[in-house]
Amino acid sequence: MAYSEKVVDHYNNPRNVGSFSKETAHVGTGLVGAPECGDVMKLQIKVNPGTGLIEDAKFKTFGCGSAIASSSLATEWLKGKTIEDAAKIKNTDIVNELKLPPVKIHCSVLAEDAIKAALADYRTKHGARAEAAVK
């Protein structure tokens, strides 16, 4: 099975690999997947409390090239978005952008799950405070 050019590009030059340090404030973290399934994604967002925008995002992924590409793409798309807009990213958007074949659709599903988990974690930790700041 040949990989699409975009998957190869994200695999070779992954965007935003890494983790925010534990001390960084206004961070939401999603950790999804399972080692026994062959895919684990950690996705983090850092929100600007003043503007309410996601100003940075980072990922680390254990999985195939398509899983790495899906999470790398997700971090690119998250930057600059509001929490509400970030929640609108769908796995089908990732499938279309990366031209994932049917057997790799689960990678995009996992990336969407990772986004949702990171957003939920952020809301749980900072939701009230962040909303107050925006007002």
Interface residues with another protein (CB under 8 A) are 1, 3, 8, 11, 14, 17, 19, 31-42, 60-65, 67-68, 102-103, 106
| Closer CB to another protein, 68 or 130, in the complex | 68
Partners of residue 17 on adjacent β-strands? 59
Q: Please pick, among 47, 54, 107, 109, the residue that the annotation labels catalytic.
A: 107
Is residue 107 among the annotated active site residues? Answer: yes
Two tokens, residue 91: 């796995």
CB contact burial 42-69 (16+ within 10 A = b; e otherwise): bbbbbbebeeeebebbbbbbebbbbbbb
Place of tokens 């983090």: 44
CB of 79 to another protein, least distance (A): 18
* The one catalytic residue among 37, 103, 128, 134: 37
Distance from C-alpha of 118 to C-alpha of 115, rounded to nearest angstrom: 5
Quote the least distance from Cβ 49 to another protein, whole Å: 26
Residue 64 annotated to the active site: no
- The residues annotated with a catalytic role in the active site are 37, 107
